[in-house]
Amino acid sequence: MQKKFLFYSDFNCPFCFALNERILMLGDSAKVLWRGIEHMPAASSKHATLVDQTQLINEVGVVRKRAPEVALVTPAFRPKTALANALIWKLAFQLDSSRPLSELRTLIYRAYWQDGGDISNPEVLRELCSQVALEYPEEGFEIAAEPELAQWQQQWQGEQFHCRLPAMLSEEQGKPLLGFPTYDLLSGFFSGSDLPQLPESLATCELRPKQSLLLIGAGIEQRCDVTELRAAYQIEVVAGVEEAQIWHRAQSCLPDMILIDHMSLGALGLQYCSALRTDPVHRNTVLIVLLAAPDQALELAGFDAGATDVMFDLTNPKICQARLDLQLRMKRSAVLLAALARLDYLTELPNRREFDRMLEAEWLRSRREGVALSVVLIDIDHFKLYNDNYGHSQGDDCLRQVARAMAKCLRRPADLLARYGGEEFVAVLPETDAEGAAVVAETLIQAVRDVELTHAYSLAAEFVTISAGVASMVPSNDATPRALSEQADRALYEAKESGRNRVCVARVCASKQGG
């Protein structure tokens, strides 16, 4: 079959891995010509910083939410992929059929995203080649591949893709598909149908190597050496506030920083700065007010308007870049730390704090709309016996496997599964009544049973099982979110008293034994 679509992807990108899996599921891999690029050329399995790890965890979390049918683990590092790219390039010249090559690509993806292997290691790649009866090339092939790989890298970094991952291009129609699409969008892309102009589900800002800056004001390009800055940032320049508002509405991603030129905009610029800062969407956006010269009154007015910083002379490109880099690094660290504070590191699920926050938010929304809100409280049966007999290390692995199995069951974007504490988990299910929540709870219980994690010391079954308590109500002014959690807690107590490995729905016990 003739290749009709170019797929620019990176082996260490979870979005690209998940899209590759979806292409296989759709049976359209024969239409796709793969092109390997590196979205993090500086990646190294030997130097994984906390920031790198947190970003990796965040990306995996997004993919799990958008593609729950794709199984993946969080690797301990992000490897360089240049060697794997060169390997695929070299073998493409030697094979008459593309099928073994497609199988090898998939093996490389899965070796990293499902087995946690180091795909920058030649021995690992050699073993994967043997699994599909392909011979690993002689030394030097990676040098021969460099010109072609560099060309693909340049294409991906160009105007058509703007360093977005994943990135596909229809050769027949010349239109790109950027980011991680839904099944419907992907199927429509392969069939040649029109795509929505700005599908929110495709946004993958966190994977752009260059951070984005929006410069507002006539003549601001002369006061900031934009020519130099373009090498480090993705820059957009607009003349005024109205143009900035139009630009914002047309984007699927927020800018990392906005520079507002007071010289050309005057008081209107400060008003716009204040409006941006009070908008929850721009809570983490760096806002810089640029003055013509030092002025204490204007400087104070800028800070009062919510500016992150007030600057004066940015005509020196090195000083300009150093100052902007400092603000962007501080912003990036704050965002990563905030994400880390909401995450349970062991299970990679949201933690108790995030559950409390989301329950409060969904409670208020459900009360406004007059719809049901449900909570499912979950406990691993006889987990203390598991820990005491198998050890805490294996107990941690049990928690991870249970969390992973349950996370696959929640497919709606608004649903939340969190670690409640110890061996307890909790699910928040908006717009779900008691009957629907009970069905979800049964699904969670069955998913854990299906893992068949041996628990010889359990009094409920021969494998690890869970019990669940369900509570549901339409929020009112007379009740609180805590009341809903307490009802779920009482239902969970009933489930455990009734023999465990079952669901109880707020005072009405629905016994479901099995497995």
Q: State the pLDDT at residue 16.
A: 92
CATH assignment of the domain containing 145? 3.40.30.10
Q: Cα–Cα distance between 66 and 412 in angstroms, integer?
A: 9
Average pLDDT (137-150) is 90
- The rounded percent of the chain whose pLDDT value lies above 70 is 90
Residue 197 has pLDDT above 50, yes or no: no
Residue 194 has pLDDT above 70, yes or no: no
DSSP string, 430-498: ET--HHHHHHHHHHHHHHHHHH--B-TT-SS-SB--EEEEEEEE---TT--HHHHHHHHHHHHHHHHHT
Q: Cα–Cα distance between 44 and 128 in angstroms, integer?
A: 21
- The rounded percent of the chain whose pLDDT value lies above 90 is 50
The number of distinct structural domains making up the chain is 3
Q: State the pLDDT at residue 205.
A: 38
Residue 482 has pLDDT above 80, yes or no: yes
Boundaries of domain holding 149: 5-205
Q: State the pLDDT at residue 269.
A: 93
Q: State the pLDDT at residue 44.
A: 64
Token duo for residue 84: 């794997």
* Residue 398 shares a structural domain with residue 285: no
Give a yes or no: residue 372 inside a domain: yes
Contacts of 499 (CB under 8 A, 6+ apart): 460, 511, 513
Residue 159 has pLDDT above 70, yes or no: yes
Give a yes or no: residue 55 inside a domain: yes
Q: Does the pTM of the predicted model rise above 0.85? A: no
Mind listing the pLDDT tens digit for each residue in 427-479? 999 999 999 999 999 999 999 999 999 999 999 999 999 999 999 999 998 88
The residue out of 155, 176, 205 marking a domain boundary is 205
Q: Cα–Cα distance between 57 and 19 in angstroms, integer?
A: 18
DSSP state of 78: -
Q: State the pLDDT at residue 180.
A: 83
Q: State the pLDDT at residue 206.
A: 43
| 158 phi, psi to nearest 5 deg | -80, -170
Give a yes or no: residue 256 inside a domain: yes
User: Do strands 32-36 and 5-9 pair parallel, antiparallel, or not at all (unpaired)?
Assistant: parallel
* Residue 361 shares a structural domain with residue 332: no
| 139 phi, psi to nearest 5 deg | -60, 150
The residue out of 205, 228, 248 marking a domain boundary is 205
* Residue 290 shares a structural domain with residue 428: no
DSSP state of 30: G
* Residue 185 shares a structural domain with residue 228: no
The residue count of the chain comes to 515
Give a yes or no: residue 294 inside a domain: yes
| Torsion-angle region of 163 (φ positive above 0: left; ψ -120 to 50: alpha; else: beta) | left
* Residue 155 shares a structural domain with residue 115: yes
pLDDT band, residue 251 (cuts 50/70/90): confident
Q: Give the CA dihedral 485, 490, 494, 495, nearest 10 degrees.
A: 10
Token duo for residue 75: 């690797």
* Residue 472 shares a structural domain with residue 358: yes
